[in-house]
Amino acid sequence: MPDLYLLRHAKSDWTIPGRGDKDRVLAKRGINDAGDMGDYMSRSSYLPDMILCSDASRTRQTLDLVTKNWQQPVEITFSDRIYSGGAQTYFNLIRELPDHCQKAMLIGHNPTIHQLALELAGDGSPNDIMQLSLKYPTCGLAVIRFTSPDWADIGQGDGRLIEFTTPKSTG
């Protein structure tokens, strides 16, 4: 059963003049949150085999901080399709994952990552589903498990939301 970790990039800094959207970097809070989320993922054994990451600066920086203390190597693919695409693009990227990958992470942007999580999570803890439906904060993580063994076979509502967590709740 494959697991998908959907991670929204950490809080970015809007105060640096002259930077385009794609070049925004993380704010101090985002730097701290990304490191904390990476530690939480490690403690929870949410360690992917493969990571799909937007090529924007803030997602790359989030990736570096989240994976900083992980002991296992991870295959990483950067894609402009994650920066510029919608939920269907994210969904297509997930369906293209190779069969040998059983745990994948996608690091992307709102509102797309929120929409995708809502579309994929057919069931799960009522509290987590409710929290997910309300808001997908920066550095929020949705863990979704699928019963189909093949990524290509997953569809909308096929996933079970195992957990939805935010930096504030990883304590």
Q: What's the pLDDT tens digit per position in 151-167?
A: 999 999 999 999 999 99
pLDDT of 72: 84
Task: Quickly list DSSP for 18-52.
Answer: T--GGG--B-HHHHHHHHHHHHHHHHTT---SEEE
Task: Quickly list DSSP for 56-80.
Answer: SHHHHHHHHHHHTT--S--EEEEEH
CA angle 24, 110, 62 (to 5 degrees): 50
Q: Which tokens hold the place of 139? A: 């550095």
Entry pTM: 0.95
* pLDDT tens, position by position, 2-55: 999 999 999 998 777 667 778 889 999 999 999 999 999 999 999 999 999 999
Sheet holding 103-108, edge to edge: 75-79, 50-54, 103-108, 3-8, 141-146, 159-165, 121-124
Q: What 3-state DSSP class applies to 14?
A: coil
DSSP class of residue 10 equals P
May I ask the CATH architecture of the domain 3-139+150-158? 3-Layer(aba) Sandwich (3.40)
139: Cβ–Cβ under 8 A, 6 or more apart, which residues?
Answer: 7, 8, 9, 10, 11, 30, 33, 34, 37, 62, 166, 167
Q: Which tokens hold the place of 135? A: 């808001």
